[in-house]
Each structure stands twice: as structure tokens, then as C-alpha cells.
Structure 1
Amino acid sequence: MSTPLDASAVRQEFPATKRILYLDSAHQTPMPNCVRSALSEFLVEGNEMAGPKPVWMRRVEVAREKVAELLNAAADEIAFTKNTSEGINIAANAVPLQPGSTVLMLEGDHPNNAYAWLHLRRKGVKVKFVSLPDDQVASASTFADHIDASTRVISLSHVTFHAGQRHDIEDIGRLCARKNIYLVVDAMQSIGVLPVDVKKLGVSVLAAGCHKGLLVPQGIGILYVKQNLQELQPVYLAMGSLANPPKDYVARPDDMTTRRDAGRFEFGNFNLPGLHALARSIEFIQSIGVARIEEHVQMLGDRLIEGLDELGIPLVGPRQRGQRSHIYVLPLPVAKWVNYLTQNLVRVSPERGGVRISFGAFNTPEDVDRLIGLIASRMRKRVDSGNRFGEMD
């Protein structure tokens, strides 16, 4: 087993933790010093050197290589996007679907995943939602009975934003391989927090934004496209998408063959500062180790669950390790509890099932204890005031 993560050392990279108790990494993470430094360096280069674009473009490829290493992919299987939603939409329009083709999804998954596929109903594509309780995780058996000859895609999140379920993508990937079905995965909540090995998971396409586990500001996303899926073709086209872009910048209508790598899905200019920061943040993440981050947030989850059990507060999502991640939702009335925690300088998110707590590598056991103490304090006050059900009010 690897050496436990030293959260107190990691915490020094995140100045925001000195001001607030930050328990909202599933929304976005605080900016670490390394990312701020990378962005500052980029601004200085643009300001003082008028933008050394060849240097910046080389950094794009450095970032691509680092993302590929993080995902156990080849660099030419990685494309850059704006966010998860763009990546899922690229996938939905690239998969060769016909009228009558069926896409299977989980009911209640992130709406921006669903809308990308629902938009294809105008072309005769059918979208079928499979129900799953919040305290259970999806596996091959979740979808197996819903597959028929028309099923072409299964699309779902690796980790859900609303209950923290960690679905068994590897098991679903084996099912898709047997049935010749595309597997499209939203890894927004898992990448950078849990190990994500695209080969082991068996995914066809994976999309994620970078402002959560990858620690950079919004506006940059990654897209993995399995190397041998040449039938997946882009809807949008630009010079950078072509195998033979015209050197004289004159369009060639007779040569519009697209690249064979994932770059065929890129178009227009890159988010250069974002990619500069992404390369730096991945270096930081790898210096810690994703497996250590996973173990750390699971340990914090163990401590949280133990404290909640003592207070009689259940979880919305699963309790077992391996089925949960860094996201924990407490079925508490949102308005009262989020306001109370905010007044006590605790950052959390309202969620459909209650109050969402989400950990990062910078959180400590003391953070969990402080949260439990605040919850217990408010419960005692409610009971003392005569409210027998103060614990959930």
C-alpha cells in the first residue's frame, strides 16, 4: 500500500483553505498556487514578448501527452474541447446512428449528458432511460435486459454529481465490447480524483472538463476517442481537423479528408493559457499520485459516515468503498442548512437530494470533524428549542 497522502502539505498549495472550510470540489476546486503561477507566466509572456505562439503551441502537445499519460491513452487519442458538454455533444454527433438507433442512459444523470443525445431524437434516434436507486451503482446487469438489436450506445457518468455513485464502468465496458456497443463516459467528477484508465475501462469516448479534479479554471475540456474508431467523424470542420490542411490557406474542396487521430475533433484556436495551466496541474497531481488521492478522499468519507451515523443522519448515495467517491449528499433541508454552513464559512453545494459535501486532496480529518461538530451543534439547538425532529430540520 502506498504512503498515505500528507494533506497538510498539499493544503499549502491552496490558499483558499486558510479562509474557509472548502467542501465543494464537486462544484469546482480552489485554484492551487501552481496553476496561478502558470497563468501568470502566460500573461507575462503575452504582455512582454507579444505572445511567443510557437512556444505556446509546443505546450499544447506537452499538455496532450500529460493527459494521455494520466488516462493510459496514446497522445493521438486526446483532443481538447471547452468542457464536458462539448465533448459529449461531439460524441453524440460523431457516432454513426440511424433512425431507430437506441441510446441507453441512466435516469437522473447529468442533464447536459442527456440533452446531447435527446437532441438526436429529431433525427429519429431513440433515447431510453434506465432507473437506478441513488444508493446503488450501475453495472452491466443494469443495462443488459434493455439491450436489443437497435442499441448502439450506452452513455453515463463515471461518478454521479448528485449522489456520488461510482459506477462499474469496467463491467459495462465488457458488456459493450461483447455487444458491439459504443460506451461514452462523462468523467467530469472522477478524473484527477480516482484512477481513470481508459483501456481498462473499455470506453469508446470519454469527456471531461478540467475545473474540478484537474484544478484549472473553467473553459478547457478533454476528449478521449479510441484509436480504431475511424467511423466516428466530426460534424464541425476546420483546417486543423484535416489530414492535409492547405499550406497557402486556400480551401481545397477536393481534399477534405480528416485526420485519423482525435485531432479531427478539434477546430479553431486552443485555450492556450488553460492548456499551459493544465500541464502544470497534472504535474502537481501526479506528484501526489491519483491512487493516493483516491485513498485519501475515501478515508475522509469513512470518517464522515462514522460521524453521520452517530448523529443519525443517512446518506443519499452508497456507503460502501468502491461504490462511492469523494461526493456525499446528506438529506437535510437545503435552504436552512446551506445558509447555516455558509454563515460558518463552510462551502458546500445544494443538491437535489440535500446538501452535498465533496472532498479534495487538500481536505483533512480535522475538516470532517469541524463539519460534524457544526451539524451536531445546530441539531442540539433545534432540539433544545423544542423541535423533536431538529436533526433533520
Structure 2
Amino acid sequence: MEYIYLDQAASSFPKPKKVAEAMTEAVLKYGANPGRGGHQLAQKADEVIYQTRVKLAKMFGAKHPNEVIFYQNATMALNQAIKGITFKEGEHVITTEFEHNSVRRPLEAIKKEKNISITYVKPNENWLISVEKIEEAIQENTKAIIVSHGSNVTGAIAPLTEIGQLAKKNGILLIVDASQTAGVLPIDMEKYGVDLLAFAGHKGLLGPQGTGALIVRESIELVPLMHGGTGSHSESVEQPEQRPARFESGTLNTPGIAGLSAGIDEVKRIGINEIFEHEWKLTKTCIERLQKLSGVTVYGPLKEVRLGVIPFAIEGIDAQEVAMILDEHYKIAVRAGLHCSPMSHQAIGTLESGGTIRVSFGPYNTEEDVDRFVVAIEEITSAFI
């Protein structure tokens, strides 16, 4: 029986073959230190990294490739975005109850250190974050709005255009976590008014783990979290002012970035709109079939278009047990628990029960995958209920 991977919200799999080939080439043919030498191999590594910046800048509407800063993952990118802001004591931040711990924990750390205040906006009755609720939360001292473009728990999509207009109107920084939407939904920082955009490379962009990025508008000043060797201005005791070196101390993950470049190419080849439509079709079919099963509760927006992420619970059965049965007996990979976002589960009422089972789709999943999954859930519910 072929294994079915339905945990795409955690990390996309399988990766395109060209991703592995690009990483292998980097290791075997030009595995030198980028930006740390004038020889041909170092220059080749540096060029591959720069061209990946170019691709990402173009994909997300950044004005210059040097606004693209590489990190190990979206968590590091979000930490740089949030902790790099010079907060004054008493300033205010608006975020949502759908945020990942990669947003919540750095914010709470700053709250303790700088005594800032935080408003966590609740979803409305349709499990969506509304612009009206964010607008109501704005105060005179609001410094930033931080929002997940797409929830990793419910699949709810935030109205980024309207939030961007609201932030610009009020002179507030807009930081967006696009971990679930980069490579799945079109994002234009200029059009949406996004000041800082963080995302993972190993999810919708189909790149390898260990890759992520933060795109920072040129006008935004951030304090770098890391200080060290950047391959340039070595004579200075101060961190260089030039980007991206200012935020990229230490050796970059050249093989990973080469793989990410190949993943971006694959996303462009398929088409972002086509990827979303494919995932939405699978999601819609899966939700409709799950809702027909006795004892199954599906959470998140049920009438609106959403990402390919479905949290659900089966009455009387622990979510972790269902995931284990699916893995061991049906060879289907899903994720159960709180998904690093306890506030999301508190919002949908599943925190005390330990969370939900989450199924999530990618561009290579099929209708046959959905069919096998739903049949497995039907058999599990029949056996337990």
C-alpha cells in the first residue's frame, strides 16, 4: 500500500526532483562559502543565492533583491521582524488569536521586557479575522499589526488588502506571516501595503527544510538579532549597514537555498493560482464528505474559500489515537494536537480536549488520496462510535 502524506501544512512532501538535484549540485560542484572569497566556486555559490533573492523579490513584489533576508525558517524570520523593532515602553501591538507561537512567544517576550500591550483579535462567527475587529483595536500608541495570512489550524484566509489599507491609513507597521500562503496565494507587498513579510521555504514554495526568508521594505529600520561575520566590511567592529549583510551573519545554507530556487521554479511552472484551485477542490470535497460522517466535527470556515487545511475531531476518540491509527493501519500521515497554535484551538473550542486531527493538502495530492483518507475515517468512526 502506497503511503499518503497529508501533512502539507507542516512541510510539503514529496519535494520536486529538481529540488534534490539542485541541492546535490551545490554540494558536489560549488560547495564553497558564498561571499567569503574571490575564487570561482565562492562566486558561483554567491550568484545562486543572489538569483534566489531575485526570484523571491519578484514573486512577492519587493522593490530590490537585497530586501530579501535568508533565515533557517519562518520562526527565525518572524523573530527578527518582531524583536528587531525598537519598541518603546507602553506601545501597543495588534495581532490575532490565529497566530502561531512563532508570533505569540516573541511578542510575549517583548511584553515582559518592554511592557508593551497586546490585543489578540478574536475570529468572527464564521471563523474569520475581520478588518472591523482590527480597526476597533487600534489605539493612539499602536505600533504594529501582525497577522497570519492563512491559519495553519483552520485554513482561514485573512483579508490582507483591507488590513494593509487600514495599517497605511493609520501609519502602523504591517507584519505578515505568510508561512501557509507563500507559493499558494499571490502576494504583492507593494499592492497589499506589507512592510515585513516572513515565510518558510519548505512549505508552499516546495523547497527543503532549513530555509525561510524575511522581506523588509527599505524604509523599515530593524535592529539585527545576530552580529558576526558577513563576508564584507571585516575591518569594522560594527555590524554593516548594508542589506542583506546586516541581517545575515554567518554562512548561509547554500544547498538549501539552491533547492529553494528550484522549488520556486516548480511553483511558477505549475502556477500559483492553479495550485490553490487544486488544493481548494480537494479541501472542499474532503469537508463535504467528512461532514456526512456521524460523530465527526469539522472546524474553521465552512462557507468561505479557505486554504487546504482541515481540522476535525471524532466524538469520543482522542486525536492522537486517530493519527496513530491512520499512520500504522492505513499508511496515511496527518498531524494531531495543538499545531503550535494553542490560541487557535482556544478560539475554536478544542484546547481542553488536546486539539484536533489536521489534514492538509499540497499540489501533488490527488482525489484518490482524499477518497482513501475519508474511507479510513469512516471505518475508524464505525469501529469506535
TM-score of the pair, normalised by structure 1? 0.84
Map of 1:55 onto structure 2: 44
Higher alpha-carbon deviation: 178-187 or 329-338: 329-338
Query: 1:137-186 CA distances to partner (integer Å, 9 max, x unpaired)?
Result: 11321211111111111112111112211111221111101111111111
Give the match for residue 12 of structure 1. none
Query: Shift of residue 252 of structure 1?
Result: 5.9
Q: Name the counterpart of 2:258.
A: 276
Seen in structure 2, the aligned counterparts of structure 1 residues 46 and 264 have a Cα distance that, compared at 3 Å, is closer
Structure 2 counterpart SS, 1:191: coil
Confirm or deny: 8 A CA contact 2:208 2:260 kept in the other structure.
no
Which of 12, 36, 43 aligns to 2:27? It is 43
| 2:148 counterpart of 1:157 | yes
Consecutive unaligned residues in structure 2, runs of 5 or more: 33-38, 339-354
Partner of 1:23: 6
Aligned to 1:311: 293
Q: Does 1:193 align with 2:184?
A: yes
Following the alignment from structure 1 to structure 2, what is the Cα–Cα distance between the partners of residues 222 and 132?
A: 27
Q: How does 1:78-117 map to 2 (within 5 A)?
A: 78-117=68-107
Aligned residue-pair number? 355
TM-score (norm 2): 0.86
Indicate yes or no: 2:134 matched with 1:143: yes
Conserved? CA contact 1:20–1:345, under 8 Å: yes
Which residue matches 1:120? Answer: 110
What is the alpha-carbon distance in structure 1 between the residues aligned to residue 105 and residue 28 of structure 2? Answer: 40
Work out the CA distance in 2 between the residues paired with 1:25 and 1:134: 27
Please tell me whether residue 64 in structure 1 is matched to residue 47 in structure 2: no
- Correspondences of 1:159-308 after superposition (within 5 Å): 159-229=150-220, 231-238=221-228, 240=230, 245-246=232-233, 249-251=234-236, 258-259=241-242, 261-308=243-290
TM-superposed deviation, 1:195? 1.8
Matched residue type, 2:176: V
C-alpha spacing 1:51/1:82, structure 2 compared with 1 (3 Å): farther
Distance 1:147 1:251 in 2: 42
Within 1, Cα distance between the matches of 2:134 and 2:58?
30
In structure 2, distance between residues paired with 1:257 and 1:27: 35
How far is 1:90 from its partner?
A: 1.1
Which protein shows a greater Rg? 1
SS at match of 2:202: coil
RMSD of Structure 2 on Structure 1 (CA): 2.3
Please identify runs of 4+ aligned residues in structure 1 that moved more than 4 A: none
Query: Is contact 2:207–2:264 with CA below 8 Å preserved after alignment?
Result: no
Map 1:337-376 → 2, pairs under 5 A: 337-342=322-327, 343-352=329-338, 353-376=355-378
- Supply the distance in 2 between the matched residues of 1:199 and 1:281 (Cα, whole angstroms): 24
